[in-house]
Amino acid sequence: MGFLYSQFLVTPSYPKQSFADQTAIVTGANVGLGLEAARHLARLGAAKVILGVRDVAAGEDAKKSIESSTGRPGVCEVWEVDLASYKSVLAFGERAAKLPRLDKAILNAGVATDKFQTAEGLERTITVNVVSTLLLGLLLLKKLKATRREVPSSEPKLSFVVSEVHGWVNFPEWKEDNILATISDPAKAKMNERYPLSKLLEVLLVQELAGRTRGKEVIINQINPGLCHSQLGRDAGWQLWLLKAVIARSTEVGSRTLVAGATAGMDSHGAYMTDGCVENTAFSPFVRSDEGYQARQKLWKEVSDIFEGIQPGIMQDLE
């Protein structure tokens, strides 16, 4: 009922807060929610908006569209990042570390497909939506913390775009010895549930990341934009297309929730935001349960080991 109420009866507020002098990163910014969120940031005065994209040509088109519509030539930069490649994510993080400042990061890029493929030794959806997204968050967190120390007026935010569908799936695999290997086994993967499962894993891990980060340094929040018209799910089948046709928000309206995460206060640290507002009761019952906490700890250990294998010492910044 809450889902339908939001879709039909709630319209997130139009963003008005200034981003003057700030530098922001938005991934998945060449289309959909990411594109419209980046457009809002540019419209609201951001000094620099970095469009993190897999397709650079599409990113350049997005840059032209944003700068033309906002009358702000030169405000956008297009940076390549392919979340299916750890090497690409590391390169993006190294580039971001050289920025004079970084005030906001909205991690929006993701995939939704029912086709089984692998990337970096795991099922591709898990690599893109979960492991690489958290890895990128860790890499950017260091620069966001530095900005907070060096620019007292900055209020850094790290926002992860999640989804209410994290509560629409069961997760018995959390009891396995190796969770990620189990769900990446083609004989066991339930690809019709893969996107919701990836969002559940992301929610759990972002909770843990926020719990290990002081909000006074960087506020970390989770954004549920609702069901919106976007390119996400273009490979997911006709059922999602039909659902969107009936109840989806416009892309621009959905993007307002991403900007709300970038302007939210301390009460959003570690929290779940829906319709642009903090709503922690919208975490699924599993996420809020003792079993959910146990699953979170196991997942964190697994991804920590992966991250240390990719870049030794990366977890030290959270100690």
| Cα separation, 48 vs 76, whole angstroms | 6
- How far is 74 from 42, CA to CA, in rounded Å? 10
List CB contacts of 88: < 8 A, sequence separation 6 or more. 80, 81, 82
Alpha helices (H) along the chain: 2-9, 32-43, 56-70, 86-97, 124-126, 133-150, 179-183, 194-211, 238-247, 251-263, 290-310
Cα–Cα dist 162/183, whole Å:
19
Active site residue 272: no
| Tokens matching residue 250 | 């416009």
Determine how many CB atoms are found less than 10 A away from the CB of residue 24: 25
> What's the rounded Cα separation, in Å, for the pair 240 and 132?
25
* From 48, 145, 199, 272, the catalytic residue: 199
Q: Which two tokens stand for residue 131?
A: 């492991």
- 107, 135 contact by CB (below 8 A): no
Distances (CA, A) of 4 to 12, 238, 247, 249: 14, 20, 8, 11
The residue from 63, 86, 195, 272 that is catalytic is 195
Identify the burial level of 252 via C-beta atoms within 10 angstroms of its C-beta, where 0-12 means exposed, 13-18 middle and 19 or more buried: middle
Q: Nearest 5°: CA angle at 9, between 246 and 192?
A: 40
What span, in angstroms and rounded, lies between the C-alpha atoms of 28 and 51? 7
**Residue 199 known to be catalytic:** yes
* Structure token digits, residue 269: 């640290």
Catalytic positions: 195, 199
